[in-house]
Structures are given as structure tokens and as C-alpha cells.
């Protein structure tokens, strides 16, 4: 009976009828150093990964989806230190964590494009002297069931 069950599972797996979640990255992979730039025309989805970068830039005409991920922003000598969604760019974050890589670091979170964030823990944005999350147009932002803490003021 065990062999028969194993055979059925293999047949379903190879026929595509049984979906097994796997980490997925399409179009753009995060760099080992520097900024992760999602370029115009790219549609990138990452599932179940821990990502450490200096910054994330989502350009006009591109989209980034993070699902069950940990995104850590680490200060770098050069480049953008934070998350920037340009006008026409789209960022979707579901059941993830966004924070600074080190406890003494903060980062910028600027959204001029579209933001949808749900079930996400967000911390260490901005600083006591600067904004935490800047939304240029709140009509393009949906934030549900998120915990935002240890950050500068929200605008």
C-alpha cells in the first residue's frame, strides 16, 4: 500500500496536479551587495527567502512581490539605503518581515507608486528625526493587518 501511495504522489507531482510550494524568483534576483533594482518590465516574485540588500528600487513599469519573506536593509557606502517604489512601480508584501539588518540601523521607505502590504511586520523605518513611511499618494496604498513599530513618524 505504501508503494502505491508513493506512486500516486509521484504521478500527481509530475503531471502538475499536485502543487508543491517552492521558492520562486523571476526576472530579477537580489544582488550579493548593493541595491536590488527591479527594472522596467520586470515582474519579480520571491517566496520564503531571507534577503539582505542595501536597498530596493522598484522602477516605473515593474513589480516586486514578497511572500513569506524576510527583507533586511543594510547600510552601504554607496547606493540607496531603503525601499523606493517609483511612480508606476508596484510592491506587494504578504506575511513577511521588513527591517534593518542591524539594530542601530534605520532605512527609508518611500512609495510614489503602488503598495499593498498585508500581515507584515515592519520595523526600523526612518529614525526619530525623519519619516518612517512616506506615501506620495495614499490612494495607491493598502496596508492591512500589519505591525509597524520602532520607526520614525509615518507620513
Who contacts 36 (Cβ-Cβ below 8 Å, separation ≥6)? 28, 30, 51, 53, 55, 56, 57
Say whether pLDDT at 85 is over 90.
yes
DSSP at 107: B
- What are the start-end ranges of the H helices in 17-155? none
Q: What is the pLDDT of residue 103?
A: 87
Out of 15-24, 58-67, 135-144, least confident range: 15-24
Residues comprising the chain, all counted? 155
Where does the pLDDT of residue 63 fall: very low under 50, low under 70, confident under 90, or very high at 90 and above? very high
Question: Which pLDDT tens digit goes with each residue over 107-116?
Answer: 999 999 999 9
Q: What is the pLDDT of residue 7?
A: 43
Q: What is the pLDDT of residue 152?
A: 75
Three cell numbers written together for 92:
506587494
Cβ distance 122 to 151 under 8 Å? yes
Q: H or E stretch including 112?
A: none
Mean pLDDT of the chain: 83
- DSSP helix/strand/coil, 56: strand
Cβ distance 60 to 40 under 8 Å? yes
- DSSP helix/strand/coil, 2: helix
Q: What is the pLDDT of residue 11?
A: 52
How large is the average pLDDT for residues 19-45? 76
Who contacts 114 (Cβ-Cβ below 8 Å, separation ≥6)? 85, 89, 90, 91, 140, 141
Amino acid at each position: 500500500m505504501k508503494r502505491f501511495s508513493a506512486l500516486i504522489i509521484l504521478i500527481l507531482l509530475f503531471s502538475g496536479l499536485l502543487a508543491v510550494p517552492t521558492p520562486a524568483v523571476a526576472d530579477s534576483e537580489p544582488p550579493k551587495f548593493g541595491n536590488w533594482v527591479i527594472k522596467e518590465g520586470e515582474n519579480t516574485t520571491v517566496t520564503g527567502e531571507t534577503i539582505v540588500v542595501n536597498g530596493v528600487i522598484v522602477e516605473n513599469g515593474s513589480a516586486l512581490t514578497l511572500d513569506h519573506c524576510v527583507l533586511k536593509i543594510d547600510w552601504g557606502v554607496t547606493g540607496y539605503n531603503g525601499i523606493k517604489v517609483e511612480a508606476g512601480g508596484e510592491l506587494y508584501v504578504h506575511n513577511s518581515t521588513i527591517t534593518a539588518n542591524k539594530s542601530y540601523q534605520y532605512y527609508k521607505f518611500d512609495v510614489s507608486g503602488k503598495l499593498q502590504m498585508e500581515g507584515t511586520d515592519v520595523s526600523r523605518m526612518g529614525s526619530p528625526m525623519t519619516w518612517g513611511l512616506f506615501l506620495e499618494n495614499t490612494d495607491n496604498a493598502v496596508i492591512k493587518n500589519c505591525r509597524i513599530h520602532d520607526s520614525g513618524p509615518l507620513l
